[in-house]
Structure 1
Amino acid sequence: MADLLWDDVKCFFDLDLTGSLPDVRVPNASPEDWQAVLDLVAEKGWKYQYSEGETVLSMPWAETVLSRSTDAECPELRVWPTADVLAIFRFHADDEVDFDLDLRELQGQDRLDVLCDFLREIGRRLGKPVLMDPEGDYGHPVLGFDIKADRVVLLADLQAR
């Protein structure tokens, strides 16, 4: 059974309402959590590309990436949980795992299921919530992985939308 039904949440995937690049985050993270995400990507066999600026490199250790100088370019890790869905992780801080998704790639029940599976995998691995905020509306998640429910749940009020 699906975590969420498209007809119940499609308003949160409206590009005009939510923006095309919502922010997904794991708050109260640690460098060990970042490493667990890197390990998960490798274990799941998800296609990925790690780069610093224009230079594509092999997958690093999280400690190495997070200890770079403050004036260095922010590295990014592009992860494809499926061929047509991309998540872009950016190593802004060691206390929050954060990544962007493109809502244009997440239209319909099948793609929503891919998103829920991806958030669930990360949340289970870290034992922490994974929250999706509308683009530019940090701190107001609309959906996310709930640890106790062990699934992705709606966090925003549908009536408010």
Structure 2
Amino acid sequence: MNWPQIAPHFECDGSLLDIYIHNTSIDDWSCVWNFLLINRSRLLFIIDSEMITPPLTVGEAFNLRRAYATTASYFLGKQRFNCHFFTEQEVEFDLDPRDVTGPVDVEQLVGFIRDMGRITGKSVSLTHEGAPFAIIARFDPTSESLIWSPNLSIGENL
């Protein structure tokens, strides 16, 4: 990882960054949720702007999503990974690029991405907001490698 090379992806332009795990099932979600629950002090669960105790299962989170605006926020260092439970077929977290200001922050981000890939056994992508195929970096759980693509164009795949 070369911070000067990847730093432009974390410059603030008013948009967020997204972390995607595609082609997921409720079982994959359960693995992710159980991982987040391990460190409850890092996890906030909010429904309709009110903080509540995180549900014990991801199924409960999806049930709440049907009636309320729900957000789970997982804190790692100064980074906040937000999940809104949009669909069971895709795990998505958003994060503010302003929270990634140097190599230490990148290492925490990379650690989170790797953890997500390892627990689901699926590729995990860091992308520009709302552009799941504008990939900045991708973790492959088979090879245990994270590939940065600092010159990747919008719409181009790794």
**Which category of TM-score, normalised to the shorter sequence, fits these structures?**
0.7 to 0.9
1:81 aligns with 76
Contact 1:31-1:66 within 8 A present in 2 as well: no
1:63 aligns with 59
Total equivalences in the alignment: 153
Moved over 6 A (4+): none
TM-score normalized by structure 1?
0.84
Question: What is the CA-CA distance between 1:67 and the residue it aligns to?
Answer: 3.5
Alignment of 1:7-156 (within 5 A): 7-16=4-13, 19-44=14-39, 47-60=42-55, 61-68=57-64, 70=66, 72-82=67-77, 84-154=78-148, 156=149
Q: Deviation string for 1:8-37 (max 9, x for gaps)? A: 211222223xx5411211101111111111
With 142-151 and 31-40 compared, the bigger mean Cα shift is at 142-151
- Paired residue secondary structure (1:107): coil
> Is 1:158 matched with 2:151?
yes
Identity %: 23
Cα distance between partner residues in 2 of 1:68 and 1:159: 37
- Listed as ranges, the gaps of 5+ residues in structure 1 are none
- Listed as ranges, the gaps of 5+ residues in structure 2 are none
Q: Deviation string for 1:39-60 (max 9, x for gaps)? A: 1112245511111112222221
Contact 1:33-1:126 within 8 A present in 2 as well: yes
Contact 1:77-1:89 within 8 A present in 2 as well: yes
Question: What is the CA-CA distance between 1:38 and the residue it aligns to?
Answer: 1.5
Write the letter of the residue equivalent to 1:100.
D
Write the letter of the residue equivalent to 1:25.
Y
